[in-house]
Amino acid sequence: MKFLDLAKVYIRSGSGGNGCISFRREKYVEFGGPDGGDGGRGGDVWVEAVEGLNTLIDFRYQQHFFAQNGQGGMGRQKSGASGADMVLKVPVGTEILEEDEETVVADMTELGQRVLLAQGGNGGWGNLHFKTSTNQAPRRANSGQEGVERTLWLRLKLIADAGLLGLPNAGKSTFLAATSNARPKIADYPFTTLHPNLGVVGVDGAEFVIADIPGLIEGAHEGRGIGDRFLGHVERCAVLLHLIDATSEDVAADWDTVLTELELYGGDLADKPRVTVLNKIDSLDDDERAEKRAALEEATGGPVMLMSGVSREGVTEVLRALRAEIDEDRLRLKAEDDGEGEAWRP
């Protein structure tokens, strides 16, 4: 299945049915009177986060979604049927944006979450509603309200606990393949990964989800390479795993390139907890490992871990470091939720 994380859709809610002008005419009935029914209500347009979807590819082939119009009223006080609703089914983690691609309408972060995108129009009143003591034969009825038309963007942001960052060929896909059942494409040329991959990783009896995105290069925020369009998939992560190729001539410059792109991307992505790892150490001897680790620690101002995705050296320690950051983030979120739920007391 092809991966698609951005789609444009056009929606329209149903219009309300018109009210009816009708009078009761029956044989042997002396007095008639108005009996026009009301129009039915137009259908709504909803969006719902469902299980079993991980891409927006369905919206590549259908972009227009219209709810059903309400039926008009009829005589004998018969109201028109309401129009059927239209439901857009999206993966969990989808953002609904206005046409400007900036204003957030809804963020579908929970399974089963439903949000109203366009409300259907009300049905018009029939002439029965306008009957009074002084106007016993009204020839007036209301038209149904028009539906609402909107142009929206759907943007999928994968929900993962940890995200992989690094330059092309830093070993991100190799790490994901070595630690999970995911099978991303691995090759010895840049930009092997063309779309995000997810893998479930286990360590010490605990499991968490890692997202692998295409590599960043200098100028990605300007659209160079694949660009920074995939950085949205790691915005929801609790921790970022920054992999640096140990065989690079200047590991400090590689680290600075990715960090600069995170800062230029905006938001709080650059402020997220990060685990910095010097990867591919199986290609270095002990002296080269110590030299490049010292250079990277001087640039980052923090600890640097050593790992090899091929030989699996240091992989368990890196997973444990990620798990510690994820557990800390979950505890923080739980504390915030508990704090919101407590009633204020003097």
Whether residue 202 is annotated as binding a ligand: the answer is no
According to the annotation, is 167 in a ligand binding site?
Answer: yes
Q: Is 316 annotated as a binding residue?
A: no
User: Do the beta carbons of residue 124 and residue 39 sit within 8 Å?
Assistant: yes
CB 32 within 8 A of CB 25: yes
Asked if residue 337 belongs to a known ligand binding site, the reply is: no
CA gap 196, 212 in Å, rounded: 5
- The annotation status of 318 as a binding-site residue, yes or no, is no
CA 261 to CA 323: how far, in whole Å? 25
281 among annotated binding-site residues: yes
Is 226 annotated in some ligand binding site? Answer: no
Q: How many CB atoms lie within 10 A of CB 190?
A: 13
Q: Is 191 annotated as a binding residue?
A: yes
Residues 49 and 110 sit within 8 Å (Cβ to Cβ): yes
Distance CA 39, CA 21 (A): 11
Has 172 been labeled as part of a binding site?
yes
Q: Is 303 annotated as a binding residue?
A: no
Structure tokens that stand for 193 in this block: 């990964």
Residue 310 annotated in ligand binding: yes
131 Cβ neighbours under 8 A, 6+ residues apart: 33, 34, 138
Residue 213 to residues 37, 167, 170, 311: CA-CA distances in angstroms?
A: 58, 10, 12, 22
Phi first, then psi, for residue 234 (nearest 5°) are: -110, 10
User: CA-to-CA distance for 204 and 333, rounded, in angstroms?
Assistant: 22
SS3 state at 225: coil
Does the annotation flag 170 for ligand binding? yes
Identify which of 12, 21, 11 has the alpha carbon closest to the alpha carbon of residue 124: 21
Q: Is 306 annotated as a binding residue?
A: no
Tell me if 163 is assigned to a ligand binding site: no
DSSP E strands, 213-329 = 239-245, 274-279, 305-306
280 marked ligand binding residue: yes
Is there a binding annotation on residue 195? yes
314 is an annotated ligand-binding site residue: no
From the list 272, 259, 289, 275, the residue with the least C-alpha distance to 322 is 275
185 assigned ligand-binding residue? no
Q: State the Cα–Cα distance between residues 90 and 49, nearest whole angstrom.
A: 5
| Residue 308 annotated in ligand binding | yes
The residues with which 104 forms a beta bridge, in sequence order, are 97
Beta bridge partners of 200: 209
Q: Binding site residues for GTP, as ranges?
A: 166-173, 191-195, 212-215, 279-282, 308-310
Q: Binding site residues, as ranges?
A: 166-173, 191-195, 212-215, 279-282, 308-310
Q: Binding site residues for Mg(2+), as ranges?
A: 173, 193
